[in-house]
Structure 1
């Protein structure tokens, strides 16, 4: 026998049913807001993107094209198709492969030394200057001052410091300290000290820039974290290891990548000191210096373009590897 529900059950169940609301109208609003944010971001980044394309993308694309042609600077002859001959000669011709590989080794040596040394020194200076002291702004300005000097001017100053003669500032200081027993050492011309001199010069000139970036990262760490660490009786080293380093990890990664890019494109100080400072060319030759001298001293634009393209690919691979190794924890 079938059970019959009371007549008032249906109206009661209809009254208890929750109202059905539609969320469809909210989607267009979110979509419009997302599109508006995307448009604003595109407009704000447009000047940088246009400049990047105009001054980096197009010239590099033109360099790729020129690397397949035999192009001589100032020659009345039309460029002729050369295929991959420039690339083949770059790795098989002893007259080209020798200087190129030596320049690449110098670049790698420079980067391996400068990146950790300059980053570590910048971090140490940032920690020292991250204090509330009188006239702290003066000290920060003094450390940052070399950054605003043009590299050509910095190279001239260091040429006076590292001059071979007795009038060189470094030789004069060492001669005074040793009571006249120090000879006139050729810091720039000696193959053993030429690259070391360039490394010291470059670190002195560029460390202030990384210091400012790291100082901003240190100042963004909440002071409550240090207060909590002090309550836990953490030492200075423990605070640095467990509070400071995690707080500026992303900044350190950025500084290391930026310093790597600067290290691989080193050119100005090499060129100035080779041309007028007596710098040992073979000991301090870099790939950028090799490309520029090939283009404008040997008038071989096609070969210089091939050197630039190969070097770009090498730096790109090394940068991607470094980016993968030192990726911040908050990234996927």
Structure 2
């Protein structure tokens, strides 16, 4: 039996999740999920979650949410998350997330919620079309904080664009502890190496966001070759500020080859050759994931068993702390 299964895992408690709001992309993989597999599940008591409740904060098709939730869970296993080393589960299977979310809403302020970047962006987008946003999008950060705090999480692997959310979670944990007594661990964010964060530019240039992990090889090649790049026929150079599209390609190549973007740029006399090599690197780098996903998708019983076991363990970890939070605020838990 594994150290995780016996509760004897050494190292920090780690929590991270992925939303089933679309097909997982190369950006998801290089920006966070590959680190989960290669680093995080080996160095602590790690929990990885399909945060399906978050998918309800916007207009959605219920059947698509279910389908993408299963696909995301299956991909997490296909990438190499090992149920003997970490806990893989679906958020809605553990009631403590929703229970604690309300207490976080009672701890946060309206101003804090409205300052969150995701809400401001969606609100502006909908206002421009004469529409409105769901209340759940405004209170989303409270649920995100509950996801993290329910488990006594010490480290949250995130991209730099999620730093605001983790900082709010820290503030809510400190505020709750000061008001009601020490219940929550105050977590900290951890970030992937800079080369793993593939940013790109708008439109077609956002190659990493456009390439889906389950795309067929010919689709991957087409998307990479269509990626917008700056620089014309001049020398290939790694300049993040001036040539973000080129930098994206070099960072993706570095992520799969283990090299440095600056050094890799020196080996190319043309942009076409760079695109071609990146396309092949992505195709071959994702091939094992696609193949394992196909095998796991054909074995639903195994995936379901992993998710049931993961949810059971997650509930066992979260319930005592959430019950303690309920008692702390004066509820008859």
* TM norm structure 2: 0.23
* TM norm structure 1: 0.23
Relative CO higher for 1 or 2, CA cutoff 8 Å, sep ≥ 6? Answer: 1
Which protein has the larger Cα radius of gyration, Structure 1 or Structure 2?
1
